[in-house]
Amino acid sequence: MTKISERLYGLDHLRAAAILLVLMFHYRAFNHPDWIDSIGRFGWTGVDLFFVLSGFLISGQLFSEIEDQGKINLKAFYIKRFFRIVPAYFFTIFLYFSFPFFRERESLSPLWKFLTFTQNYGLDVISAGTFSHAWSLCIEEQFYLILPLLLLMIMPSTLFRYFIVLIIAFIGVSVAARLMVWNALMAGADTASSDFWKLWYMKIYYPTHTRLDGLGTGVLTGYLMQYSAAFKKMVNNNGNGLFFLGIILLGVSFRVCNEQASETASIFGFTMVALSYGIIVMAAVSESSFLYKTKSYATSQLASLSYAVYLSHKGIIHMVQEGLGYFKLETSDNISLMICLFACILGGLFYRFLIEKPFSIIKIKVLKKIVSYPPFSG
């Protein structure tokens, strides 16, 4: 498998695309040009792309460590995840709870839910929708906690040989869970009512057990790339074909998810989107793909800022539009959109130099004390 420590430019392109999708989707909640509604309506899938990327990268790192070391260094893994995720996240929580003008909406979930990464369960986005986008980070943190423990449990047993079946079963659990929730709570409900959307988000969109499709697809891809020579060869020989196949399937998925909260989209749409992005991720790491071969400074920089931008963008857009409104300037045209996006990039740079880089230095110092081999990236 390609070493994870190598720079995979194809994945940078996808990270950049993912954060742009999310920005366009969330920008619809603010004053915006009319075209944002049509362009950004499928932007929610940017989170699914992030899930697939995380599943692929994190599992790939773990599988490589298993192959190289015959074990997983849990302490090193969790230290890396802590310093990558927590400082910037806790700083954002500090902003939201200490400075009300940063809040894009009024009500926040309880602080303990943010601190314990459990906000995605019971999240009432209608009444407590401020910093609601942290729900996806909660799922990723739960994934980071559980995956290495699961691998340690099954490595010594024959279950590891059937890991593909296990991951497919996990994805099937999400589909079955959404089906049961739909039949029990959503069938026949008025899709135009706020109560329907509150329940749909709370019971179908946000919970971890209903959103395992993307992470599972990424883990499955990482496993096959590590342990199946035939699969890896197929991927490396058919990069561009996989990309166009993924795009076609993504178009079909968007058609199925045209009404995001319809029965078909709610039950099967997330799986279709995840599989589509999974194929595109395969293309991005294929040595024959134009994604793999093309280096872009813009996408690599945007990819490196994506986490910080994801955390802060709603608060920054809110403050910029409030400032423009204060000076009687237009807030719903293309110029204000560009100002907001530029401000989000500046916010990402602020996080990089004042939070992420200093804590990265601390992370390296801590890791040097506990590991005798070079840590993998991330």
Residues 6+ apart with CB under 8 A from 277: 14, 45, 48, 49, 52, 214, 217, 246, 250
Task: Provide the pLDDT for residue 246.
Answer: 98
Stretch 298-303: mean pLDDT: 96
pLDDT confidence of 375, banded at 50, 70, 90? very low
User: What does the pLDDT look like over 145-179, one tens digit per residue?
Assistant: 999 999 999 998 888 989 999 999 999 999 999 99
305 CB neighbour count, 10 Å cutoff: 22
pLDDT at residue number 190: 86
Tell me the pLDDT band of 14, cut-offs 50, 70 and 90.
very high
Nearest to 52 by CA among 280, 254, 265: 280
The CA–CA distances, whole Å, from 106 to 92, 132, 163, 289 equal 16, 11, 44, 46
Mean pLDDT of 231-243: 98
pLDDT level of residue 283 (50, 70, 90 thresholds) = very high
241 with 282: CB under 8 angstroms? no
Q: What is the pLDDT of residues 18-61, one digit of tens each?
A: 999 999 999 999 999 999 999 999 999 999 999 999 999 999 99
- From 218, 215, 216, 214, select the one nearest 273 (Cα to Cα): 214
pTM greater than the 0.85 cutoff: yes
High-pLDDT (> 70) share of the chain, %: 96
pLDDT of residue 5: 41
326-342 pLDDT, tens digit each: 999 999 999 999 999 99
Task: Give me the DSSP letters along 170-222.
Answer: HHHHHHHHHHHHIIIIITT--TTSHHHHHHHIIIIIS-GGG--HHHHHHHHHH
Q: How far apart are the first and last CA of the chain?
A: 17
- Quick check: 310 and 138 in contact, CB under 8 A? no
Q: Quick one: pLDDT at residue 371?
A: 65
CA–CA separation, 79 vs 60, rounded Å? 18
Q: Is the pLDDT of residue 372 over 80?
A: no
Phi-psi region of 131 (alpha: psi -120 to 50; beta: other; left: phi over 0): left
Q: Is the pLDDT of residue 7 over 80?
A: no
For the chain, give the mean pLDDT: 94
Question: What pLDDT was estimated at residue 157?
Answer: 87
